[in-house]
Amino acid sequence: MRGCEIQALGINYTVQTHTILKHVNLTANPSEILAIVGPSGAGKSSLLEILAGKLTPQTASIFINNKPINKPRFKKMSGYVTQRDTLFPLLTVEETLRFGASLRLRLAEAELASKVKSLLCELGLTHVAGARVGDDRVRGISGGERRRVSIGLEVIHDPKVVILDEPTSGLDSTSAHQIIDMLHVMAEASARTIILSIHQPSFRIVKLFHNILLLAAGAVLHHGSVDLLSVNLMLMDLPLPVHVNAVEFAIESIDAIAAAVEAAPPPPPPKIAGGTSKTGKFTLQQLFQQSKVIDEESIDVEVDLPRGFANPQIKETLILSHRFYKNILRIVVCFSALVPNFIVGNSVISAVMGSFFLFSGYFISKNQLPRFWVFMHYISLFKYPFEGLLINEFSRSGRCLETMLDTCVVRGEDVLREEGYGDEGSRWKNYVIMLCFILVYRFVAYLILRYKCSSNAGVRGFVV
C-alpha cells in the first residue's frame, strides 16, 4: 500500500474577532516527519486539530495524494494523539492495547494477541507489558512509557497518517528523544505520514525531523527542511550561533523573521496536480471541495479503508463492559487496604462509594437501568439501607402522597409496590443482607491485613 501525501491549502481559522490561522499551506510526505514549531500561541494545536478533523475552519482544502477526502474517511485512515494522556491507570499496558485493538480491529483471538505483541515490540514496551499504566495518584510506568501507550492506541489500526499534539510535553530530554526516535523509525519503516507539534526541540531531536513548519501568529514563516531554514536565516542576516540549533534560534528570532518575510515578495500560490492555482480559476474538483459537495464513493486515495465499524454494537458493549469490570474489581473497597498510603485509600473508597450511590435506586430506579447495569444495583451498599428506610417510612403508614378532588390517588404502599420494594417482610431481608455485607468485608479486610503482616515479616501468608 502506498503512503499518503497530505496537502492543505488556504487554511483560515478565526474565533470571534481573533485570527488563529491565516493562509496556511503545508505538505506532509509519507515516510517523513513534519514538525510544526513556533512560540506559544502560534496556532500549532489549532492547525493539528483542523488536520485531524476536530475543528472546522472558515476556509480550507485538504488533499490526500492530490485528491480531496472528507472527514469521516480521513478519521478512519489516521490517528490523533492528544497532548494529555487519557488512559485507565489500573489497567496494564498490554490490557490497554488489547482493549483498543478489540474495539478497532476485526480479528480472531490469536491474530489479536499477535498484533498486540508486535505493537509492544514496536513501541519498546515489552518489558512493562504486565505493569499498570498508572497516573499522578497511582504508581505505574514512567511518563515516557505512558506516552508510548497513548501513541500505541492510535496506531493499533495501522493508520497511514499519525497526528500528535506535543508528544514530548512534560518529558525529560532522554524520554523526549526516545519518543521522537520511535516516531522516526515508525515513519520510515511503515511509510507513515507523521505530523506533530513541538515546542523548542533539542539539537538531537531536530536532526530526526525531515521537514518543519515554522508558525508565528497563525502565519507560516518557513516550510521545508532544517538545512533550508539555516540558509534562509543567513540570507536574512541572522547567522546561526555556535552550538545552537536552527529551530531554537528561529523561535528566538521570530520577530525578525516575521518582519523579513513580510517585506519579501509573496510566494507563488500553491498548486495541486491536475488543477490550477488556489487564487486562479478553480477546477471542478476544487469547487466541489470548497462547497463541501463531495461524493464519498467517487473519492479514491488508493488507501484501503474499512466500511462501517470494526465490530457490531453488541460486541463493542461486551468489550467496554469487560474493561469496566476489570477497573471495578481492582478498585473495590475491600482491596483499598493494599494501597500505599491513606490519601490514595480514601480516593479509591470515594470513587467506589460514588458508583454504589449512583446505582442505589435513589437517582435511577432499577426498572430504568439498562439490563447490563442491573448487577451494579444489587451489589450497591446503599441499595439495602435505602429500601429499608422507604419501607419503614411508607409501609402500612396510610400516608397519602397525592390527592385529587379530596380523594387520595397515590399512597405510600402504592409507590413501594410499583418500585418492587416489597412489604414488611422485605425490611428484615434488607437488614440481613446489610449484616452479611459487614461480615464479609470485615473478613476480607482481615485476610488482607494478615497477608500484608506475613509478607512484611518474611513469612508466607494467605493468598487472597
Largest CA distance in the chain: 94
The pLDDT score that the predictor gives to residue 325 is 66
373-386, pLDDT tens digit by residue?
888 878 887 888 88
Q: Please, what's the b/e burial string for 172-211 (b: 16 or more CB within 10 A of its CB; e: otherwise)?
A: eeebbbbbbebbbebbeebbbbbbbbbebbbeebbebbbb
The pLDDT score that the predictor gives to residue 242 is 79
Maximum average pLDDT range among 227-241, 355-369, 391-405: 227-241
Mean pLDDT value of segment 153-173:
88
What is the C-alpha separation between 388 and 426, in angstroms, rounded? 8
The helix (run of H) or strand (run of E) holding residue 461 is none
- Look at the pTM and tell me if it is higher than 0.75: no
The pLDDT score that the predictor gives to residue 276 is 39
Residue identified by cell 513469612 is 459
pLDDT at 137 over 80: no
Answer whether 6-77+166-298 and 83-158+304-330 agree in fold.
yes
DSSP 3-state of 16: coil
For residue 464, name the pLDDT band (cuts at 50, 70, 90).
very low
DSSP letters for 257-278: HHHHHHHSPPPPPP--TTS--S
What CATH number was assigned to the domain covering residues 83-158+304-330?
A: 3.40.50.300
Domain boundary assignment for the chain: 6-77+166-298, 83-158+304-330, 334-456
Comparing 121 with 332, the larger pLDDT belongs to: 121
Comparing 303 with 16, the larger pLDDT belongs to: 16
pLDDT at 134 over 50: yes
Residue identified by cell 489479536 is 112
174-208, pLDDT tens digit by residue?
888 999 999 999 888 888 899 999 888 888 898 99
Mean pLDDT value of segment 260-280:
57
Top CATH class of 6-77+166-298 equals alpha beta
Q: Alpha carbon of 121 to those of 101, 128, 149: distances in Å?
A: 15, 11, 12
Mean pLDDT value of segment 97-109:
85
Amino acid at 237: D
pLDDT at 308 over 70: no
The pLDDT score that the predictor gives to residue 333 is 46
